[in-house]
């Protein structure tokens, strides 16, 4: 009996070791390529909202860590990407979260020019109803481009048209654009408050607890 | 492996014991990823690859593994292979990996993989086992493809949308718009659409079976009658 269990244990151990070796090998082989793909994907998204002629630095490397803040809606620390032209700050790319989408959180990437104007907004992830609330994706409609050129004070009424504001919405799905509009507006306010610190080569920015 | 064996295993996996519409195993991924053809086929092929590899890996060691330790060892091997596939997809098909996301690690828990290993690979030589895993996986892929096509046409009015995620930007021209200016049919894309479409598929398969049976029976009766006459 004891011999049988010993035999089983050795067997399991041997297979665990072989399995670990195979995994370690594959990880080592694919690790660089995965990091590259992830970076390329991020850059692709960022370059959609940051105009090519507005930066000459390596955006992916020039980052600032941002602590959780009620205005951004982020739970943990997020990374902001900083575009510079001739060493002057030009555009900041922030991650913002709209917590009140129709089915949960909507994560946005918001690019703000140093003068406080929006360069562009993109949805990174969402769980809105397919075919109904998903027109916030650039792949589905141009709705999200409606933010281009807006700033915290321009227009004065940051609301969807149904609530007496400026922004379009589609009948049947008002909660989704309402959440996105609110989140983008708050991100702009955050930017106004922390403008200098965001571009400074300094420590992480402390946020206000929600 | 003889040609007859090859044919039997293939027929068994793809049609007679089809995992999707006959055995009804692995329903969770079938219902979840079949919203478009590309998603369905991609996960189907990933599952087929894992099934073929794990069957091939387990068949040669089936006599070494002590009987009481066989389930943990099998699961370990499946998990290793799935993780390898996951790394490879993450590295070389990043955007598809993002879409299929959590369903790839979940291949490990897909009961069809372990079921085939227990039922076949643990009792048969490596070549046959690999073939069985592959055939079962292809049967699953076929169901996912048909289901994905039904839901995509009804839901979006397109076919093969998102193929650029698997084959790169240049493949975008392969997307077929079946119904132009289609406003979409929400039910088909949501989970209930998957249940309804799968139900129709199972009904179709059963109808074909019944018809084949009836045909065989009437042929047999005729044969008896001609003999009697």
Helix or strand run (H / E) with residue B98: helix B94-100
In whole angstroms, how far apart are CA B155 and each of B34, B151, B193, B199?
Answer: 12, 6, 9, 17
* Range of lowest pLDDT (A143-147, A206-210, B91-95): A206-210
Best-predicted range by mean pLDDT (A172-181, B7-16, B201-210): B201-210
Q: Does residue B179 sit at the A interface (CB-CB below 8 Å)? A: no
Q: Which residues does chain B have within 8 Å of residue A37's beta carbon, measured at their own beta carbons?
A: 90-92, 94
Distance from CA of B87 to the nearest CA of A (A): 7
For A124-166, the pLDDT digits (tens) are 888 887 767 888 888 778 888 888 888 888 777 888 888 888 8
| Residue whose pair of structure tokens reads 């039910």 in the numeric block | B187
Q: Is A125 on the interface with B (CB under 8 A)?
A: no
Two structure tokens written together for B188 = 């088909």
Place of tokens 């922030």: A94
Q: Which position has the higher pLDDT, B45 or A164?
A: B45
Nearest to A132 among B65, B156, B186 (CB): B186
Q: How confident is the model at residue B42 (pLDDT cuts 50, 70, 90)?
A: confident
The CA distance from A145 to A124, in Å, is 14
Neighbours of B33 (CB within 10 A): 24
Average pLDDT along chain A: 84
pLDDT digits (tens, 9 = 90+) for A79-120: 888 888 887 888 888 888 999 888 888 889 899 988 888 988
Which of B84, B95, B156 is the closest to A22 by Cβ? B84
Which of A31-35, B1-5, B79-83, B97-101 is predicted least confidently?
B97-101
A15 touches chain B (CB under 8 A): yes
Average pLDDT estimate for B39-67: 90
Q: What is the pLDDT of residues A27-76, one digit of tens each?
A: 999 999 988 887 787 788 888 888 888 888 888 778 888 888 888 888 87
What is the value of ipTM here, to two decimals? 0.74
Residue B195, pLDDT score: 92
Q: Does A25 touch chain B (CB under 8 A)?
A: no
Per-residue confidence (pLDDT) for residue B200, from 0 to 100: 93
Asked if B71 reaches chain A (Cβ–Cβ under 8 Å), the answer is no
């Amino acid at each position: 009996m004891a011999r049988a269990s010993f035999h089983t244990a050795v067997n399991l151990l041997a297979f665990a070791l072989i399995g670990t070796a195979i995994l370690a090998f594959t990880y080592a082989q694919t690790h660089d390529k995965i990091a590259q793909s992830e970076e390329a994907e991020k850059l692709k998204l960022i370059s959609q909202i940051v105009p090519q002629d507005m930066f000459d630095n390596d955006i992916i490397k020039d980052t600032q860590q941002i602590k959780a803040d009620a205005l951004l809606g982020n739970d943990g620390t997020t990374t902001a990407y900083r575009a510079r032209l001739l060493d002057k700050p030009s555009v900041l790319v922030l991650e913002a979260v709209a917590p009140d989408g129709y089915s949960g959180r909507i994560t946005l990437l918001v690019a703000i020019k140093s003068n406080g104007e929006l360069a562009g907004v993109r949805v990174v992830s969402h769980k809105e109803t397919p075919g109904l609330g998903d027109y916030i994706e650039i792949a589905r409609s141009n709705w999200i481009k409606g933010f281009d050129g807006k700033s915290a004070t321009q227009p004065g009424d940051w609301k969807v048209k149904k609530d007496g504001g400026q922004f379009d919405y589609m009948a049947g799905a008002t909660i989704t654009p309402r959440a996105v509009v609110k989140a983008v507006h708050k991100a702009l306010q955050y930017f106004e408050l922390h403008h200098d610190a965001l571009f400074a080569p300094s420590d992480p920015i402390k946020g206000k607890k929600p | 492996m003889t040609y007859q064996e090859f044919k039997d295993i293939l027929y068994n996996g793809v049609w007679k014991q089809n995992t999707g519409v006959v055995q009804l195993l692995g329903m969770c991924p079938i219902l979840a990823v079949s919203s478009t053809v590309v998603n369905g086929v991609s996960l189907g092929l990933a599952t087929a690859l894992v099934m073929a590899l794990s069957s091939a890996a387990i068949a040669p060691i089936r006599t070494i593994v002590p009987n009481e330790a066989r389930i943990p060892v099998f699961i370990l091997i499946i998990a290793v292979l799935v993780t390898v596939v996951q790394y490879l997809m993450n590295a070389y098909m990043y955007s598809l990996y993002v879409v299929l996301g959590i369903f790839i690690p979940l291949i490990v828990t897909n009961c069809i993989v372990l079921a085939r290993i227990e039922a076949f690979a643990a009792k048969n030589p490596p070549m046959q086992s690999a073939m069985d895993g592959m055939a079962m996986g292809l049967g699953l892929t076929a169901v996912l493809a048909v289901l994905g096509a039904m839901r995509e046409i009804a839901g979006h009015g397109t076919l093969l949308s998102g193929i650029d995620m698997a084959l790169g930007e240049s493949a975008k021209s392969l997307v077929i718009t079946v119904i132009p200016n289609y406003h979409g049919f929400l039910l088909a894309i949501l989970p209930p659409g998957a249940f309804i479409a799968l139900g129709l598929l199972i009904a179709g398969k059963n109808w074909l079976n019944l018809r084949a049976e009836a045909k065989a029976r009437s042929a047999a009766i005729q044969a008896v009658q001609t003999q009697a006459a």
